[in-house]
Amino acid sequence: MAYTLKASGIATSLVMCVAVDEDGSTIKEFVSPTVDAAKTLETGVAASIGTSSWKSVSRSYFQTLANGTYDFYGITFGATKPAFDSGNTHPFSVYAVCAGAGTRSGNQDDMIQAGQVSRRILSISATDHQLIFNAANVGTTTIPSDGTTKFSMGGSFVNSGNVKLYYGLESGSLAQDGTTQTDAGYGGNGQTILSIGGDRTSGGKTPGKWHLVAMFQAELSLSDFQALHTDWVGTLFDAGGGGIVGTSAAFRHIAGIGR
């Protein structure tokens, strides 16, 4: 069977949602079938699907790995990429769930790498703190790098002056983890996501076992992030539906239907 995105709640504001499908063997971008078909799983990724429990439920993950100086094992989007707007009038949020992360290979490694005006949407610094949107804000917690500790992290970017980060261990709840900071000058319309797990141009790579990597064209609240932390499958997906529900902001954006 296949997951389908819900047609209600925060799932309707998704612009990117990458996870292993309900079949446990397919890495998929769920927002747009066109984006999903255009993505490339770098060598080694397809064989790196595994399972781990989250909140006592077995969930699949896909793995990203370092591979040489500038290369990486991750996901690269092709001709059609997830699209989003950012800046003074376009809030967005990102979220990732991890079954275990390894040591980063650069001073600031890209988890989600974008083109055009912005570059690093979600990164991990040399001191293993999470950052969002070109290091506009730095989390206060050191991200585990032992390969086995489970956690989730994310953040929201609103009006170039209200940046918040969130973090929580699988064994507990999620809480705000970082301070707001004015960061004018970044942002723009029609930006695109280039890759997940690394950046071919700077050598930054983020090894990890990722249950979910998602981006929303909205400011998520703490309760929204907590719902994802508790059960991202139940929050975002209808199980066993088959096909894709094309009602999200990103699908409408890509298809030219409007916002």
Q: In this predicted model, what pLDDT tens digit does every residue of 206-249 receive, in sequence order?
A: 788 999 999 999 999 999 999 999 999 999 999 754 433 333 44
**Residue 148 located in a structural domain:** yes
Whether residue 18 contacts residue 38, with contact meaning beta carbons closer than 8 Å, is answered with: no
Task: Report the percentage of the chain scoring pLDDT > 70.
Answer: 77
Residue 153 pLDDT > 70: yes
Lowest model confidence (mean pLDDT) among 73-87, 93-107, 178-192: 178-192
Q: Give the β-pairing of 14-20 and 4-5.
A: unpaired
Whether residue 217 contacts residue 12, with contact meaning beta carbons closer than 8 Å, is answered with: no
pLDDT, position 50: 94
Lowest model confidence (mean pLDDT) among 35-49, 64-78, 123-137, 152-166: 123-137
Whether residue 135 contacts residue 127, with contact meaning beta carbons closer than 8 Å, is answered with: no
Domain range for residue 93?
Answer: 4-254
12, amino acid identity: T
Q: Residue 125's pLDDT band (boundaries 50, 70, 90)?
A: confident
Whether residue 248 contacts residue 12, with contact meaning beta carbons closer than 8 Å, is answered with: yes
Report the number of distinct structural domains present in the chain.
Answer: 1
**Residue 180 located in a structural domain:** yes
Whether residue 21 contacts residue 29, with contact meaning beta carbons closer than 8 Å, is answered with: no
Q: Residue 258's pLDDT band (boundaries 50, 70, 90)?
A: very low
* Section 165-191 average pLDDT: 80
Lowest model confidence (mean pLDDT) among 68-72, 145-149, 182-186: 182-186
pLDDT, position 243: 38
Task: For 88-130, give the secondary structure using H, E and C.
Answer: CCECEEEEEEEEEECCCCCCEEEEEEECCCCCEEEEEECCCCE
**Residue 259 located in a structural domain:** no
* Section 124-133 average pLDDT: 78
Residue 185 pLDDT > 80: no
Helix, strand and coil percent figures for the chain, each rounded to 5: 15, 45, 45
**Residue 185 located in a structural domain:** yes
**Where are the alpha helices (H) located in 91-246, listed in sequence order?**
222-236
Residue 220, number of CB atoms within 10 A of its CB: 24
Task: For 45-97, give the secondary structure using H, E and C.
Answer: CHHHCEEEEECCEEEEEEEEEEECCCEEECEEECCCCCEEEEECCECEEEEEE
Residue 252 pLDDT > 60: no
C-alpha dist (Å) from residue 42 to 38, 82, 192: 13, 17, 19
Residues 6+ away with beta carbon under 8 Å from 157: 86, 91, 92, 93, 132, 133, 136, 163
**Residue 187 located in a structural domain:** yes
**Residue 125 located in a structural domain:** yes
CATH of the domain at 70: 2.60.120.200
